[in-house]
Amino acid sequence: NAGVTQTPKFRILKIGQSMTLQCTQDMNHNYMYWYRQDPGMGLKLIYYSVGAGITDKGEVPNGYNVSRSTTEDFPLRLELAAPSQTSVYFCASSYSVPRGFPVPWNTEAFFGQGTRLTVV
């Protein structure tokens, strides 16, 4: 099983450039997340999605955009890259039963291997 696949693994951008970080999962998970990890800061949630066509902002959405046109794919777009966006980016997916379901259930989140982005 491929699980969660992120591309690229590494990227160097110049200030003002744009790029898309790709994320795809093959587990038919409804929830998908984008996080950034900075040293000593843990993981900060950028955007998340609870299903195709539905996205919402996390803690640190400024400078990013997402879309979720299919269950499998959840790309993260950086417009006008800034040095503050230098970070390691992780995509994750999980399955959760709908709210109000009689038996609560949520799988663990499965993570991709990360994209190390440097903006210079």
Q: Interface with other proteins by CB under 8 A: which residues?
A: 31, 33, 35, 40-43, 45, 48, 50, 56, 58, 90, 92, 94, 96, 99, 103-106, 108-114
Nearer to other proteins, 17 or 96 (CB): 96
Q: Which amino acid, one-letter code, is at 105?
A: W
Q: How far is it, in rounded angstroms, from Cα 65 to Cα 92? A: 16
- For residues 82 and 111, which CB has a smaller minimum distance to other proteins in the complex? 111
* Nearest distance from C-beta of residue 4 to other proteins, angstroms: 8
Nearer to other proteins, 92 or 119 (CB): 92
CA distance 52 to 81: 26
Task: Compute the least distance from the CB of residue 87 to other proteins, in Å.
Answer: 14
Nearer to other proteins, 14 or 99 (CB): 99
Per residue, the 3-state secondary structure of the chain, as one string, reads CCCEEEECCEEEECCCCCEEEEEEECCCCCEEEEEEECCCCCEEEEEEEEECCEEEECCCCCCEEECCCCCCECCEEECCCCHHHCEEEEEEEECECCCCCCCCCECCCEECCCEEEEEC
Residue 70 Cβ vs other proteins, minimum distance, rounded to whole Å? 19
